[in-house]
Structure 1
Amino acid sequence: MDLSAIYRYPIKSARGHSLDAAVVDRFGVSGDRRWMFIDSAGQFCSQRCTPQMALLDVVSTDSGLRLSFAGDSIELETPGEQHREVPATVWGHSMPAHIADAPVNAWLSEHLGGDLRLVFCPADASRPVDPAYLPSSKLEQHVGFADGFPLLIISQASLDDLNTRLPVPVPMDRFRPNLVIRGTVPYAEDGWRKLRVGSTTLAIVKPCSRCAIPSIDQQTAERDPAINRMLASYRRRDGVIYFGMNAIVTVGAGFAVGDSVEVLE
């Protein structure tokens, strides 16, 4: 097995991009989901309620981000301590975040609709991973604005198997993984507990429950409920669809496309 792709999503629920190599920090892939949209109440917003977020192209720059939508673009600097701090809530967990400048938020609201505000997760933010899923009670892990865990892993074979069941194949971007593993049988990742990717060791901690986002075409923002209906026909358990596995880094500092992958447990 080997690592066939690495993806990073600078803004939660906006477009991601592929990487040849990635370093990891205390939040997972460096730069992954450190930004997020919130509404006027501080609650996070995603493609679940605003599918057009799929069309927002995001490029990391030396000082921040460049955002593009429908031929228009804007650049912004990463907000620091001098920027206003606001509470941002992800799945019931509230944490302080730095809000982007007003012109940026006006630009986003104009293109995406609603009263959206873009916030940044500072380096010292504390949002612990649910300890119930960690392999050791002594292990402490944090996550930025990802739903619950720093990494999402999917095998290429699992997507290939799903595509044999669909009238029109879908790409991997429907499922927004960080790491794609090649050379397995379909759904082999369901049984993994510990994985070595290059020189980095990962603990596989929880199956990834899926929402409506896999039904959204990441190139058009159009919905196709047939995707989730098909997944539900064979990947639903206790009323929840599972596809892919959440993971944390326990040893190591990064990985590169082409790294060998070994199942340790």
Structure 2
Amino acid sequence: MTHFILSGIAVYPVKSLAGIHANSWPVTEKGFQHDRKWMIIDPNRQFLSQRKLPEMALIKTALTAKNLILSAPGMEDLFLPIKPVDGQLINSTLWHDQCDACSVSKEADQWLSDFLKQDCQLVYQPDEVIRPVDPAYAKPSDKVAFSDGFPFLIIAENSLTVLNNEMQLNLAMTRFRPNLVISGCPGYAEDSWREISIGAIDFRLPKACARCSIPTIDPETAQTGKEPLITLNRTRKWQNNVYFGQNALHNQCGQLSVGETVHIKLSGAKQPPI
């Protein structure tokens, strides 16, 4: 049985805003606690992301026991309750999913609208709302918050090393927005992982992660370039998509900590098969 090490944990409280790096974090039924619990929507109740508004990358997030804190250049920090009071129920659209959500506050909406220069609204997913994962890849009991489709994204450190070498660049892992980073394994080793365990939590890896334009955005400046999509199109293209990292589902709740051992319990054909 092969094992490696969990070297990074990242949580993204608000979909498409900057994330939080942690040494240890609780895992709930929907994934990391508070991960993608909040989302920004436009006046048509469609979700917003860096694909449309790269400046979202500049909004930093922080969590305390009581507050979600948003900060951005030129803005006063915004403190929001981590357990929002019941707001207005809103049926929002996230890709092809209709998602029940609740409004947060007029103050939050104005703060975000001012910074992003776009009318928008902050919403959150109440704990009791159940958004299932695509049944083609999941069990009926699998749940997710406002992630694109899966509770976790896993990337090996050396996968980025390989990609950076191919590009002759030094892009940061933060561009790819993984939840879990694994060290000690070869580049793209995760392509063949089907079942792994990290500490006391078991994971299924049913589907490679198709990448959009977000990794081309510098998270420090919100400036957009051409890489890594040019190189991924050359080296990691399959069925009209490019892939980097693996989506994952978890079998238990608990706690994950950096430094825990990663066991590869089941391997299979590479995803993507290139």
TM-score with structure 2 setting the length = 0.93
* 1:48-197 alignment, distance < 5 Å: 48-72=51-75, 73-78=77-82, 80=84, 82-134=86-138, 139-197=140-198
Q: Secondary structure at the match of 1:105?
A: helix
Pairing 1:256–2:257 present: yes
> Given residue 240 of structure 1, which amino acid in structure 2 is its aligned partner?
N
Classify the secondary structure of the residue corresponding to 1:132: coil
Contact 2:202 2:252 in 1 (8 A): yes
Q: Which moved more, 1:90-99 or 1:5-14?
A: 90-99
Offset, 1:80? 4.0
Query: Which residue, out of 2, 7, 11, partners 1:4?
Result: 7
Contact 1:81 1:98 in 2 (8 A): no
CA distance in structure 2 between the partners assigned to 1:80 and 1:223 by the alignment: 34
Cα distance change, pair 79–255 in 1 and its aligned pair in 2 (3 A):
closer
2:224 paired residue number? 223
Structure 2: which 5+ runs fail to align? Answer: 267-274
Q: Does 1:23 align with 2:14?
A: no
Unaligned runs of 5+ in 1: none
**Structure 2 partner of 1:13:** 16
- 1:143 positional shift: 0.6
Cα displacement (A) at 1:76: 1.5
How many residue pairs align between the two structures?
Answer: 262
The CA deviation string for residues 180-224 of structure 1, in whole angstroms up to 9 with x for no partner, is 000111111010000010111111111000000010001000011
Conserved in 1, the CA contact under 8 Å of 2:66 and 2:83? no
Matched residues in 2 for 1:12 and 1:247: separation? 17
In the TM superposition, what is the alpha-carbon distance from 1:254 to its structure 2 partner? 2.4
**Could you tell me which residue of structure 1 aligns to residue 269 of structure 2?**
none
| Aligned Cα root-mean-square deviation (Å) | 1.2
Query: What's the CA shift string for 1:51-100, capped at 9, x where partnerless?
Result: 00000011112223111110421111246453111112111211221112
Residue 228 of structure 2 aligns to a residue whose secondary structure is helix
| Aligned counterparts of 2:128 and 2:10: Cα–Cα separation in 1 | 23
